[in-house]
Amino acid sequence: MTNVNNSIIMNMDAAGLSETTADQSPEMVRLERKQKLAAALRLFGKFGFDEGVAGHVTVRDPERLDHFWVNPMGKSFKQMSVSDLLLVDHTGAVVEGQGLLNGAAFTIHSRIHMAHPRITAAAHAHSVYGKSWSSLGRLLDPITQDACAFYNDHVVFDDFTGVVLDNSEGERIAAALGPHKAAILQNHGLLTVGESVDEAAWWFITMERCCQAQLLAEAAGTPRLIKPEYATQTRETVGSTLAGWFSFQPLHDVILAEQPELLD
């Protein structure tokens, strides 16, 4: 089965199924990223990841690489549209859009985008199971196929000092993240990243569900772990950049069909 799945992923890659293609203009790439960002935020709202004004998803601008698009503070995930998004530079100035910039969004995301050129998008929210699991200060275990996506590919940031408003804490989070796809911010919540909005959003959605699954499993007994060699092998299939991008597409299609006004 692994060989079949790997073959499918390789064929998808060869077909050019990714965020953008080389012949797209920067304007087209920017619009696509903003549309995917608005869709991801609507999905986060649909799944109940919102908590008051907490939570933010960002995507790097394709031309101004030291700028990123972000949801404004005080606007519900459930009502987010493309026209609501803010363009922010790495000094914290709102360059385009109307609305309030969340201080924690700037502190965390600006430092991540500055430190990691590989990262196009990042997602953080105070989802119920993610913040519950974060209070334990533990990595997720490879107890399911889905959890293997994060095997040896996420970290725990255990230096909670309150609401993240100091740039130095944003820098420490970015440093702790390193080359990984996700961080568990102890006593806070989850943070996921990717080479596209699609990937970052999918890692958040599936990581939240993995937290839920492990909390349920440990409440019922002692989960049996997948052997390291099989967990690693499984991660290569379900935890790749392309697998993350592709897994988001059905959710994106559903939210767009249900809520086409998000493109306004």
Predicted confidence (pLDDT) per residue in 139-149, tens digit: 999 999 999 99
pLDDT of res. 234: 98
Predicted confidence (pLDDT) per residue in 87-140, tens digit: 999 999 999 999 999 998 999 999 999 999 999 999 999 999 999 999 999 999
Stretch 32-61: mean pLDDT: 97
pLDDT of res. 164: 62
**What percentage of the chain has pLDDT greater than the value 70?**
90
- pLDDT band of 184, cuts 50, 70, 90: very high
Q: 108: which residues sit within 8 A by CB, 6+ positions away?
A: 56, 122, 124, 164, 170, 173, 191
Residue 20 above 60 pLDDT?
no
Residue 16 above 50 pLDDT?
no
Q: Rounded to the nearest 5°, which phi and psi values hold at 113?
A: -65, -35
Copy the structure tokens of residue 131.
């913040």
Average pLDDT of the chain, as a whole number: 91
pLDDT of res. 4: 39
pLDDT of res. 169: 85
Residue 18 above 90 pLDDT?
no
pLDDT of res. 22: 60
**What percentage of the chain has pLDDT greater than the value 90?**
86
Predicted confidence (pLDDT) per residue in 195-228, tens digit: 999 999 999 999 999 999 999 999 999 999 999 9
Q: Which domains does the chain have, with CATH numbers?
A: 26-263 (3.40.225.10)
Dist CA 167 CA 174 (whole Å): 11
